[in-house]
Structure 1
Amino acid sequence: MHGATSRPGRTSAVRRLPTRPPSPSPSRPRWTCWPRATARPAIWPRPTSRCRPRPPSSRCGPTWLRQHPSASGPPRSPPTPGAPPAPAPHPRRSESPAVPGLARRTPPPHRGRGPTPICFLMHKTPLARAAAAACATLSSLALTPALACDCADTPATAQATAQLAAADANNAPASSPAAPRSKLDLVRIQGAAPTSLPTNIPTTRETVTREDIERTINATDAEDALKYLPSLLVRKRYIGDYNHAILSSRASGTGNSARSAVYADGILLSNYLGNGVGGLSFPPRWGLVTPEEIERVDVMYGPFSAAYPGNSVGAVVDYQTRMPTRFEANAKLSTSTQPSELYGQKTTYRAWAASASVGNRTGDFSWWLNLHRTDSEGQPLTFATRLASTAGTGTVGTPVSGAVAGLNSANQAWALIGAGTQYHTRQDHLKLKLAYDLSPTLRASYVLGLWRNDSDGNSLSWLRDAAGRPVYQGAVDPATKKEFILIDGKQFAGPSGADFAVTREKLQHAMHGISVKSHSGGTWDWELAASLYDYGKDDKRQNAATNPQPGALGGGAGTLADGSGTGWNTLALKGIWRPAGTAHVVDLGLQQDGYKLSYLTSTIAGNYLADAAGTLASQVQGKTQLQAAYAQDAWLISTDWKAVLGLRAERWQARDGRTDFSATGTPPSISYPSRSENFLSPKAALSWQATPEMVLKASLGRAVRMPTVSELYGATSTANSQFINDPNLKPEKSWTGELSAEASWGALQSRLTLFAETTRDALYSQTSFDATANKNISRVQNIDKIGTTGLEATLGATDWGLKGLDLSGSVTYTDSKIKANAGFVATPGDTVGKWQPNIPRWRATALAAYRFNEQWSASLAARYSGRQYRTLNNADVNGFAYMGVSKYATADLRVLWKIDRQWSAAFGIDNLNNYRYWNFHNYPQRSYSAELKFDL
């Protein structure tokens, strides 16, 4: 379940026994070797038709191994202390090289109808011997048996299990004759996809698995997987939202996309070319991951790992995607319907998606291919308005009806005259993944992601003239040569192309990732990885302010904004050192990330929908680079104490910054001088197993979030928006800490976390509406100091009072205020003591899921967020209005029907209570979804 410390299929540093092991699936077989307990846990899952319980036995224990020597291979001489491990046989010599480093042999004979003993799989290689030793140690503990699962395809998964067990065994002190039972580090031996997040840092982590998503989330986009996690929110406005879906966390709002780090299989998806949505938009590239390919999602809260840049100050999210162990094929069809009513306008918006994937593993080579198509209509997101205070006394103008009177976010009277920016997006996604085992302990992999988006942005005037015709421009006043309309006899500026914009976007982006990684579990392991994200094509066409509808629908004057050539690249060399004879695991690394912004806006006098670029209107370009070296030591001080110390050294450079505002040189171009700065960011964490049921943790870390290329150089302007850059911005510097207590009481698992953050020179992009210019103007600035404290509590239970009933929930309280700021919005000092934008005082999630039987399950979830502000001076007191940020309380429903082994269907309702809420734009109203899925 989501949002609690322990849930089905989750990984949590505090849990020594799972609440529910993952269910086996045809594509990802699971096998688990659990320590035996004094009694069968009440929270253990009921056996399924595909997974039968193995009766308690002493298999794998020392006595059984002595009685069955063939199960662990031929006798061996004791290893020489300090000697390197013997070379492992190559998988090509074995029947099934599904997991490198584990050879396969004919199982020892056994009687009865039960499953084959597992220990025969753990032999020959040092890696496998370590796994066998770990299993034997667990079996020899003074614990009685618990049930385990033996599935039909156990051997392949058991190999993966043994490898993970071996890796954890190598982290134990080599000098110990018998490894002590670890209370601080959970060794979860299972075949699930490993996370790329650091697992040896005792800090807050949450996980969502593929099973969780299937059972409880109406997932239409990758970001939906985070929906019910504590303190997280993705500002997703419609299905396929590609330019505003920004992740917020405890002390980072939905306008700060550069304060979180999102990865997929270790490849960067976060867009650090800019921050937020001022000017251009910079959300993570969610479209490069589809819900169907997700195996699990891991989230680490806070900047407590030296392996990540200062952008990790909010949260680090890592998507682990699937890789086949045998031939598989999958297909999914889904549809969604949103009946919407707002400002007296009733419309129904629809979306559909289709996905197909195929993959296989043959010998040392595995591959996977996915194709995905989304066709989505979103609700209107912006609205053309006229402030009542701007009404004139003139009598010239077109008399109109249809305007809707209301209050804006500052409680000022205004009239809404129409809807703008209603997107219809058609997105295609292709993902190819290749992997090859160069040796039993070395794997090379490559990922190609292609994403294409054709998006139409449309708008609609609600104004009607006396004949009932739509009004998109007013009558011209001969004296002023300006257009006016008359609303209830009052004169207002007439509509223009800026009020009712028409946009046409064609985007084609490519992602490449390549890595070579060792996984020996010995003294040294290493990884060399590189990635590239390229804006191959990034065109946005928009009508000019002087080209209103309906003529703009067929062409006329406009602009073409071209972002091709923009992108980023990453390069990393990482190492893990496990010094023999010590209780230390040291992570080391060198990294380099480079970002390039190139954005050219040209005017088109003829047909903006089809013509080539014309005269230069503006151009921005620039580059930044971050080079880093880090080291981090995890030290198991004793059975009950663990400490982590880390240091990250960074060198940041900004260069080649330039802005052009005219083809004629008036105003003149600006070239900015290069900049470079150096920073050190220490990290520390400590954990103590206070009792067998409780662990206490403390973490502290410094993060330096560098200014992005767009914030430094990205001055952009369109008919209805403008962004003002600042090349002298300071990096944002934060100290973040947390204290946590995690405990379990039988079926209940809980966590209580106190967190605090102090940020100096916080980088903020503030958007305000200029009524005179009739456009949104954004400018970026440093805020001297922001202080945040808060408390986060989670609770989860499995089979709570009723078998099959799982519950989870979270509550977060946050106090985040601006402590000092030399700048201001309207008057000096008007931001000091105000709430940090987009951070609510209260947040909560709740989720209940019930499995009626093996075919039917259902879930009911709820989310709550309290009052927020969007402006630095908190002047937006009315959250329930366009440009405001409101509280919300919504519920979601999902029903899953597993028809048979291959077919499944689901039905869901999001925003079940049809709550109307805002975050600058309006969120979706009640939406109905249905899906049909096939797995071969």
Structure 2
Amino acid sequence: MKKIIPSSANTSAHQPGAFTTALRPIVIAVMASLASTTMAQDIDNAEPDTHTVVVTGSTNYSGPVNTPATIETVTVKELSDTTNVMNIEDALKYFPSVMVRKRFNGDTNEPVTSRTTGVNASARTLVFADGVLLSTLVNNNNGNGSPQWFMVSPEEIDSIDVMYGPFSAAYAGNSYGAVIQLNTRMPKQFEATVKVNVSKQNFDLYNTRKSYKSGDLNATIGNRQGAFSWFISANHLDSFGQPITFGTISQSTKTATGALPVITGAISDFNRTGGAIEVISAGNIAHTIQDTAKVKLAYDLTPQTSLSYMLGFWQNSAKTQVTTYLNNTSGVLATPYYGAANGNVNIGGYSYSASSIAGQFSSNNTQQEHWIQSLALDSKNNGTWDWNAVVSNVRYTTDLTRSSTGIYPTAMITGAGRITDASGTGWTTVDAKASYRPDANQSQHILSFGIHADQFKLVSPTYNTTDWLNGSTGAVYTNSLGKTQTKALWLQDEWHISPTLLATLGGRYEQWKALNGYNYAIASNGTGFPVNQPSVAHNGFSPKATLAWKANDLWQITGSVGRALRFPTVGELYQNVQTGTTYTQANPYLKPEDVTSTEFAFERKTKESRVRVSVFGELVSDALISQTSTITGYATPVSFTQNIDKTRQRGIELVAEKDNAFISGLQLSGSLTFVDALILANSSYVPTIAGATSIGKHTPYIPDWRATLVATYRPDTKWAYTLAGRYTGRQYATVDNTDINPGTYQGFESFFVTDVRVHYQVNRQWSVSAGIDNLNNEKYYLYHPFSQRTAYAEVKYTY
């Protein structure tokens, strides 16, 4: 691994390779060329649009509501040809300005990012499957707030839509990042599929050099018999992941004296703030076994009205390991070293506390069982009235994480630890919506309206145990409980002002409250402190407006503005967590984020091409962002969510597509996004180092540049060859941007990866595919080290 020497506190010490450095102008040039080629080559073969007005959005699959915002879509056929998909979240790889933080196959902590939201803000994006909420709005982080992606298997998918911005009144303020709709299919006749997918990653970082394999088996079966249809899917994943954490200790300045044990194997490096460290271990090396099963039933009560029910189950059994890089060479034979309860050791001529070393070694095992179900009644008359109602529930019947606290190697097989039990966590949502066309499809006004209610419940006690692998729970170590509830009414009017001008006006009124908050923690003196947290409540109105002008048969110009209120999650309000040496403090007095978003989109579309330029802006008052600092009375750093007074994000996004580009069968598509994201005011900031400030600093976790470029060549109906690239620019993890060294564990650095895939449709029943993600073997960090070059192979049978 390359060594990085930090420079000044205001500049990044990470020096990317020449290829990555040159990427930005190359991508800009390619995208500009693609856009200009698209416009020039299609100016003569443009097909007049048969509709008088084109709405920027498309019909919402979860109900009869049009979405007045920019939407990007991918179909199952496009995914099959172009994308290496092991888990459903892989399908979002090439969407403009979107990234899912997937660290390895089987990862369960996978928040999604959008134009103006980052990997620590899972509650700023909504994820649905057929109108059922998969977003885990019990928290807003990259851990237990991540969406329940695993509840949907890739073989269920018909298409995926991503809607950008909070411009539809039908969605809560959490939509200000994006709304992702996973649209699954129901069979029209008997069908069955079986797919086997395997992968192999070669990982090489520090002293870890190993291959990690994964295998996935997916099967579906379904049929339609008259008015009744059914669909069953099952998925089994067995995955080995690379290390996602590293044990580190600060470089000692104390010279080793006396006959201290000599320890070798430590690797000198720098942490993200530029401090000298020694890397001593690789941790959280997970072996994950997951199973998903789902049943969907539908019955047509009338030709226009259907009743459907869905029941899904997911289980996860994950075990992690830790590997030491250290060896004790003081004896006759060198032996692996894990630290000790007391004493000091000699590493490189300096003295280190053996207990500090021991604190870097820990393992955890997880056992989870989650259930999801929904009941929906849907009417699609395409006449005066359309309506939809859906009730859904997600419940964690089992969610246990067992962690060791003892000293290795004994802790590998027994010893003290802690058990965190999130069983009972879950949420329930109720949505009813309708659309009214006074004169059927000739109406000048189309009214949509609806009601919404939800409740999110967090259960998260942690217990001490004498046997972290198999023991029962002992005394309570910490506890966090609480609920949030929301009730909402919304109304939206599509006003066809003229054959070429469409205005969409709407608003959403919400009443929100948090209640039953409770925390328990043990102070350093051993005294327990129970706290009944106060209930809090907020309400507010969020207006929306969009104006779309169909300038001619090729061009449409759309302007949108909308307010969004993103209420705090129960975890932000009430959850205390201690992770390593960092303590996360609950804050029950948080105010909702108040967001004003705008977008101006210029889109040109022909039969074989599309170009869109979107200029967007976002002003957030009381932004909820986690900050970390040392506070009087706490021995360890405290991470706490605070309302940052004001942040501003503004940028531009270019999206282009071209079929039969240069040669027949070649499809090019790509996107380029630039975001200028700044903190404008932050009265709650506590300096982490002397002279530091957060004013004028880059908003955390939002990259400055993002780009995708996908080329797919289909010489005939059987073969598809794809080469794709993904680029994400520099981002910061701290409000004062003091993480100046991104190319290290816990740093956030720019990266560029290329992917390839070959798909061959043997016949109607059989298809085979092979591909490689991260072909150029980019080694990069987004806090954790991400997957390196990974090969995929896939075989699918369809009856």
Q: Please give the TM-score of this superposition, normalised by the length of structure 2.
A: 0.90
Q: By how many angstroms is 1:802 displaced? A: 1.6
Matches within 5 A, 1:298-447: 298-389=161-252, 391=254, 395=258, 397-447=260-310
Q: By how many angstroms is 1:187 displaced? A: 12
Structure 2 unaligned residues grouped into runs of 5+: 1-26, 28-37
Which of residues 373, 377, 389 is equivalent to 1:516?
377
Q: Which residue of 1 aligns with 2:52?
A: 182
Q: Which residue of 2 aligns with 1:269?
A: 134
Give the Cα–Cα distance (whole angstroms) in 1 for the partners of residues 432 and 235 of structure 2.
Answer: 32
Deviation sequence 1:487-514 (CA, Å, 0-9, x none): 1110112255541111111000000111
Matched residue type, 1:236 = K
- How many equivalent pairs are there? 750
* Structure with the higher fraction of residues in strand conformation: 2
Q: Which residue of 1 aligns with 2:588?
A: 727
Which of residues 710, 715, 719 is equivalent to 2:576?
715
Deviation sequence 1:295-345 (CA, Å, 0-9, x none): 100010000011111100000000001110000010000110001110132
Give the Cα–Cα distance (whole angstroms) in 2 for the partners of residues 622 and 597 of structure 1.
Answer: 5
Matched, 1:630 2:490: yes
Contact 1:195 1:298 in 2 (8 A): no
**Cα gap change, 1:791/1:198 in structure 2, threshold over 3 Å: closer, same or farther?**
farther
Matched residue type, 2:684 = G
Q: Which residue of 1 aligns with 2:515?
A: 655
Matches within 5 A, 1:872-891: 872-891=735-754
Contact 1:497 1:543 in 2 (8 A): no
Matched residue type, 1:242 = T
Which of residues 644, 649, 652 is equivalent to 2:504?
644
Contact 1:215 1:857 in 2 (8 A): yes
Extract structure 1 runs of 4+ deviating beyond 6 A.
772-776
Matched residue type, 1:553 = M
Contact 2:208 2:282 in 1 (8 A): no
Matches within 5 A, 1:140-155: none
Which of residues 201, 212, 220 is equivalent to 2:78?
212
Which of residues 448, 462, 487 is equivalent to 2:311?
448
Q: By how many angstroms is 1:745 displaced? A: 5.4
Matched, 1:222 2:88: yes
**Cα gap change, 1:187/1:877 in structure 2, threshold over 3 Å: closer, same or farther?**
closer
Q: By how many angstroms is 1:769 displaced? A: 10
Give the Cα–Cα distance (whole angstroms) in 2 for the partners of residues 198 and 573 of structure 1.
Answer: 10
Matches within 5 A, 1:12-31: none
Q: Which residue of 2 aligns with 1:752?
A: 613
Matched, 1:778 2:639: yes
Q: By how many angstroms is 1:221 displaced? A: 1.1
Matches within 5 A, 1:787-798: 787-798=648-659
Contact 1:719 1:775 in 2 (8 A): no
Which of residues 761, 765, 779 is equivalent to 2:626?
765
Contact 1:524 1:578 in 2 (8 A): yes
Matched residue type, 2:561 = L
1:304 is paired with a residue of what secondary structure? coil
**Cα gap change, 1:516/1:392 in structure 2, threshold over 3 Å: closer, same or farther?**
farther
1:854 is paired with a residue of what secondary structure? coil
Q: Which residue of 2 aligns with 1:553?
A: 412
> Which stretch shows the higher mean deviation, 667-676 or 861-870?
667-676
Deviation sequence 1:852-905 (CA, Å, 0-9, x none): 222211100001111111111111111110010010111000000111110111
Which of residues 411, 425, 429 is equivalent to 1:570?
429
Q: By how many angstroms is 1:200 displaced? A: 3.3
Which of residues 69, 84, 97 is equivalent to 1:231?
97
Contact 1:504 1:542 in 2 (8 A): yes
Contact 1:473 1:483 in 2 (8 A): no
Matches within 5 A, 1:51-200: 181-185=51-55, 195-196=61-62, 200=66
**Cα gap change, 1:288/1:196 in structure 2, threshold over 3 Å: closer, same or farther?**
same
Give the Cα–Cα distance (whole angstroms) in 2 for the partners of residues 297 and 390 of structure 1.
Answer: 55
1:710 is paired with a residue of what secondary structure? helix
Give the Cα–Cα distance (whole angstroms) in 1 for the partners of residues 195 and 634 of structure 2.
Answer: 47
Q: By how many angstroms is 1:784 displaced? A: 0.7
Percent of paired sites with the same residue = 38
Give the Cα–Cα distance (whole angstroms) in 1 for the partners of residues 581 and 318 of structure 2.
Answer: 18
1:669 is paired with a residue of what secondary structure? strand
**Cα gap change, 1:199/1:847 in structure 2, threshold over 3 Å: closer, same or farther?**
farther
Contact 1:584 1:635 in 2 (8 A): yes
**Cα gap change, 1:775/1:463 in structure 2, threshold over 3 Å: closer, same or farther?**
farther
Q: Which residue of 1 aligns with 2:450?
A: 589
Contact 1:217 1:225 in 2 (8 A): yes
Matched residue type, 2:207 = G
**Cα gap change, 1:197/1:892 in structure 2, threshold over 3 Å: closer, same or farther?**
farther
Contact 1:538 1:564 in 2 (8 A): yes
Q: Which residue of 2 aligns with 1:813?
A: 674
Give the Cα–Cα distance (whole angstroms) in 2 for the partners of residues 206 and 335 of structure 1.
Answer: 29
**Cα gap change, 1:386/1:447 in structure 2, threshold over 3 Å: closer, same or farther?**
same
Contact 2:242 2:286 in 1 (8 A): yes
Matched residue type, 1:356 = A
Deviation sequence 1:513-562 (CA, Å, 0-9, x none): 11111111221222221000001000010111xx1221112111111111
Q: By how many angstroms is 1:471 displaced? A: 0.4
Contact 2:63 2:388 in 1 (8 A): no
Deviation sequence 1:94-142 (CA, Å, 0-9, x none): xxxxxxxxxxxxxxxxxxxxxxxxxxxxxxxxxxxxxxxxxxxxxxxx9
Q: Which residue of 2 aligns with 1:98?
A: none
Deviation sequence 1:686-728 (CA, Å, 0-9, x none): 0001122100000111111111111111012355553211111
Deviation sequence 1:362-408 (CA, Å, 0-9, x none): 01110000110111111101111111156566556431110001111
**Cα gap change, 1:187/1:756 in structure 2, threshold over 3 Å: closer, same or farther?**
closer
1:431 is paired with a residue of what secondary structure? strand
Contact 1:198 1:305 in 2 (8 A): no
Matched residue type, 2:518 = R
Give the Cα–Cα distance (whole angstroms) in 2 for the partners of residues 574 and 419 of structure 1.
Answer: 51
Give the Cα–Cα distance (whole angstroms) in 2 for the partners of residues 676 and 583 of structure 1.
Answer: 39
Matched, 1:257 2:122: yes
Give the Cα–Cα distance (whole angstroms) in 1 for the partners of residues 278 and 477 of structure 2.
Answer: 32
Q: By how many angstroms is 1:748 displaced? A: 2.9
Matched, 1:671 2:541: no
Q: By how many angstroms is 1:768 displaced? A: 7.0
Give the Cα–Cα distance (whole angstroms) in 2 for the partners of residues 572 and 792 of structure 1.
Answer: 32
> Which stretch shows the higher mean deviation, 503-512 or 822-831?
822-831
2:551 is paired with a residue of what secondary structure? strand
Q: Please give the TM-score of this superposition, normalised by the length of structure 1.
A: 0.77
Give the Cα–Cα distance (whole angstroms) in 2 for the partners of residues 520 and 201 of structure 1.
Answer: 19
2:343 is paired with a residue of what secondary structure? strand
The RMSD of aligned alpha carbons is: 2.5
1:869 is paired with a residue of what secondary structure? coil
**Cα gap change, 1:828/1:786 in structure 2, threshold over 3 Å: closer, same or farther?**
farther
Which of residues 376, 380, 396 is equivalent to 1:535?
396
Which of residues 289, 292, 295 is equivalent to 2:158?
295
Matched, 1:898 2:725: no
Give the Cα–Cα distance (whole angstroms) in 2 for the partners of residues 616 and 222 of structure 1.
Answer: 37
Give the Cα–Cα distance (whole angstroms) in 2 for the partners of residues 483 and 434 of structure 1.
Answer: 64
Q: Which residue of 2 aligns with 1:742?
A: 603
Give the Cα–Cα distance (whole angstroms) in 1 for the partners of residues 726 and 57 of structure 2.
Answer: 32
Which of residues 477, 484, 492 is equivalent to 2:344?
484
Matched residue type, 1:642 = L
Matched residue type, 1:575 = A
Matched residue type, 1:425 = T
